[in-house]
Amino acid sequence: MPSAPAVQVLAAAVKTAKTAAIAHPYLSVISVVIVIYLTHSYLAYSRLRHFPGPALARWTRIPWIIWHASGQVHLKLRDISETYGPLAVAAPGVLVTSDVELMRRMAAPRSTYQRNIWYMAFRFNPDKDHIGCERDGEAHTQRKMKLAPGYSGREIVGLEDKIDANIAALIKLVESSYLSVPTETKAFDLAQKIQYLTADSIGDIAFGGPIGFLQTDSDMYDYLKTSAEGFPFFNMLSLFPWLMHIMALDFVKKYLPSTKDTVGMGPIMRLAQETVEKRYPPKEGELHQDMLGSWIRHGLTKDEAMSETVLQILAGAETTATAIRMILFHIYTNPRVLSKLRAELRAARPSSPVTNAEAANLPYLQAVIKEAIRICPPITGDMLKDVPPEGDTYHRMFIPGGTVIGFSMVGMLVDKKTFGEDADTFRPERFLEGAIDDQVLQTRNAVVDAAFGHGRWRCLGKNIAQMELNKVIPEIIRAFDFTVVYPEHPFKSYNAGVQIQWDMFMRATRYEDGHLS
């Protein structure tokens, strides 16, 4: 129920609007709109007035929209967390948290928090949900049970071999076309080549063969370019998710990506459709030991398989590429780190290509991976959740039911209380300090792990992504030395819930050290 002051404000506003409408009838519509807007703003402010936050953001969503449009919203939310604390107002009716414990509580299996309508903006098909946007808790749980065995990797025969083959294709491409010599520099965009790798790897896992980005050394169908342009659109659409109802109209659908398109997402959607069509209905005795085969065996429908395959490629390729880029960037711009990694490889003498199990037992490599993800998490979207109708209590402060809570991933990962006074700097050693049972070390590991989500909303692709990181980093540092071509502007980036990065121009030379082979 609105508070007494809120009711009084509403009554006064209505009285003023009536007076204006009588004196100037043509202003009646404008007056009503203004009254509704001001009343809504006041009620939103009043409900959360006991939480700190930027003054203007308490009254209007304009700052919220500007932050997202800037491509730097993750940094603004970090600033809010640092200035106002781990739970603060970011927009009318919206709180943002950098508290990992609150995130875990919201994501717990029996939690009554639910995904906000924000998630609807990330539908590829306005009529169909995938695991990333399903809001119904029970439906999400049921679909996750069908998808999880495939994503675990245990039901995909030759999974490591597929990843190895695509890493080898990347190394061959750089060696054959982009190696520099003392008399000539061949600058190339490493960000682009890494995305070729992750897109081909996901395609190999999903379709039984790479799509062909590395083989052709090209952005086939302008897919990667189109997806990079699409993420900002979906990000802005998430601020106005009611528009999804308009996009579901037939006359609007014809302008959305389609399997009939010759560029962009269309050809990839068509490839997914053709692959799925071949598998449905499942033939008796037919056993495909790949991702789609696992999904079919666990009861995924044809329509669900189509949606999940497109999601796997679009989201998986972009996020894993970001992680690889940032790991490599920080390794090659920190000679001390590169030297220690190579020393660890010399001492361990892992096989070539390195196995996932071997890489998982290289402590400094794992520390480097965690630190790069901490400094630049691949996913930084708002991930808005609805507080249950009965409300909740956080550190003795009541959160009214219907409030929306978003997440500051960067704010959580650069928290000085958790990671030390140098939390803004790249220092992998922070994950090796203290005994294995040290509480500080355990907390740091757990917080970075939360970058992949938690509980019922944990990222299903984490295991495969981790495997790819474990394998690609040792193979790259065995093969090449990279130097940044333009150190004053090493790469460009735009945050649209995921990190979009480009123009990471590098100079590659062979690394000659037989002890690492």
Instruction: Write a three-state SS string for 303-334.
Output: HHHHHHHHHHHHHHHHHHHHHHHHHHHHHHCC
Instruction: Give 10-38 pLDDT, tens digit per residue.
Output: 566 556 655 655 555 555 667 666 777 77
Q: Are residues 4 and 53 in the same domain?
A: no
- Measured at the CA of 131, the angle between CA 130 and CA 135, to 5 degrees, comes to 90
Q: Residue 373: which residues within 8 A CB-CB, separation 6 or more?
A: 323, 326, 327, 448, 451
pLDDT band, very low/low/confident/very high, at 141 (cuts 50, 70, 90) = very high
Q: Are residues 144 and 7 in the same domain?
A: no
| Beta carbons of 499 and 380 less than 8 angstroms apart | yes
**Is 129 domain-assigned?**
yes
pLDDT of 436 reads 61
Instruction: Tell me the C-alpha distance between 11 and 18, whole Å.
Output: 11
Instruction: Give 195-235 pLDDT, tens digit per residue.
Output: 999 999 998 988 778 999 999 999 999 988 888 888 898 89
**Is 365 domain-assigned?**
yes
CATH of the domain at 84: 1.10.630.10
Q: Are residues 139 and 229 in the same domain?
A: yes
pLDDT of 264 reads 85
Give me the percent of the chain exceeding a pLDDT of 90. Answer: 68
Q: Are residues 88 and 36 in the same domain?
A: no
Residue 133 is assigned to a ligand binding site: no
DSSP 11: H
Q: Are residues 361 and 496 in the same domain?
A: yes
**Is 479 domain-assigned?**
yes
Q: Are residues 6 and 140 in the same domain?
A: no
Instruction: Tell me the C-alpha distance between 88 and 82, whole Å.
Output: 10
Give φ, ψ of 83 to 5 degrees. -85, -45
pTM of the model: 0.91
pLDDT band, very low/low/confident/very high, at 284 (cuts 50, 70, 90) = confident
Strands 480-484 and 404-407 turn out to be: unpaired
Pick the range with the lowest mean pLDDT from 62-76, 268-282, 370-384: 268-282
SS3 content of the chain, % helix, strand, coil (to 5): 60, 10, 30
Nearest residue to 265 via CA among 295, 204, 319, 307: 307
**Is 368 domain-assigned?**
yes
Q: Does residue 514 carry a pLDDT above 60?
A: no
| Beta carbons of 348 and 474 less than 8 angstroms apart | no
Instruction: Tell me the C-alpha distance between 147 and 293, whole Å.
Output: 11
pLDDT of 26 reads 54
Torsion of CA 144, 147, 152, 154, to 10 degrees: 140
Give me the percent of the chain exceeding a pLDDT of 70. Answer: 92
Question: Average per-residue pLDDT in the chain?
Answer: 90
**Is 411 domain-assigned?**
yes
Instruction: Give 245-261 pLDDT, tens digit per residue.
Output: 787 777 777 777 888 88
pLDDT of 196 reads 97
Find the radius of gyration of the CA atoms of the chain. 25
Tokens of 86: 């781990």
Q: Are residues 169 and 288 in the same domain?
A: yes
Burial (CB count within 10 angstroms: exposed 0-12, middle 13-18, buried 19+), residue 6: middle
Q: Are residues 131 and 14 in the same domain?
A: no
Instruction: Give 300-349 pLDDT, tens digit per residue.
Output: 999 999 999 888 888 889 999 999 999 999 999 999 999 999 999 999 99
Chain mean position to CA 25: 50
Instruction: Give 413-451 pLDDT, tens digit per residue.
Output: 999 999 999 999 999 999 998 766 688 999 999 999 999
Nearest residue to 328 via CA among 479, 430, 494: 479
Pick the range with the lowest mean pLDDT from 148-152, 271-275, 470-474: 271-275
**Is 36 domain-assigned?**
yes
Q: What would the mean pLDDT of 140-158 be, rounded to a whole number?
A: 92
Q: Are residues 435 and 460 in the same domain?
A: yes
pLDDT band, very low/low/confident/very high, at 70 (cuts 50, 70, 90) = very high
Count up the domains in the chain and report the number.
2
pLDDT of 515 reads 47
Q: Are residues 315 and 456 in the same domain?
A: yes
**Is 367 domain-assigned?**
yes
pLDDT of 242 reads 78
Q: Are residues 21 and 82 in the same domain?
A: no
Instruction: Tell me the C-alpha distance between 353 and 168, whole Å.
Output: 9
Q: What would the mean pLDDT of 170-187 be, rounded to a whole number?
A: 96
**Is 517 domain-assigned?**
no
Residue 6: give the domain boundaries: 1-47
Instruction: Give 441-473 pLDDT, tens digit per residue.
Output: 999 999 999 999 999 999 999 999 999 999 999
Three-state DSSP at 482 gives strand
Instruction: Give 485-500 pLDDT, tens digit per residue.
Output: 999 999 999 999 999 9
Instruction: Tell me the C-alpha distance between 441 and 432, whole Å.
Output: 8
Q: Are residues 427 and 468 in the same domain?
A: yes
pLDDT of 38 reads 72
pLDDT of 249 reads 76
pLDDT of 14 reads 55
The helix (H) or strand (E) run that includes residue 293 is helix 291-297
